[in-house]
Structure 1
Amino acid sequence: MIIGFGFGSPLTALLMLVVTASLSYFFFKAIRGRQNGDWTGGGDSDISELRRRKRAHYYEQRQRARELMDEYDLTDQEIEERINRELR
């Protein structure tokens, strides 16, 4: 949605271009926010629910990272033993 080229002076065309670009950006952000489910609509309960879901997500990711760290945080000797086991 670009309007502004070929109408009047170059300054007018540039101004129309900036206005239409900003309108497109705000429309895109509004539509994308609603599709992602992060559109809060201004209610306190919506924000608290969003915070709860995000907190749960980050706690799950932290737990998963700890599990992976326990599995792959190996010493050099353990790495060599694992390689030997896999190559047998």
Structure 2
Amino acid sequence: MSLDPQARNVLDFLGQGPPLETLPIEQARASFEKISVNPQPQPIEQVEDRTIPGPNGDIPIRIYNPFQEGVHPALVFYHGEVGSSEA
């Protein structure tokens, strides 16, 4: 399976400069705006809150479903605790 051309453009752009996490927040936001594939908000048909099992209990997730039928790209944000050393 090949990488989506828009995803390839984002990865190529990110490889041209310093990592976003090393920039001041204002500069990181401005850089992120430049790589937005579709900066216009898209209509959402349904927002669903669920949980999935995690190593230390359930993890809350939110699923956004568009109005259009068919296959759509996915974007996943992972958030965690900095400095967690549980094994």
Q: Same fold (TM over 0.5)?
A: no
More helix by share: 1
TM-score (norm 2): 0.21
TM-score (norm 1): 0.21
More strand by share: 2
Larger radius of gyration: 1
Between 1 and 2, higher relative CO (CA 8 Å, sep ≥ 6) is seen in 2
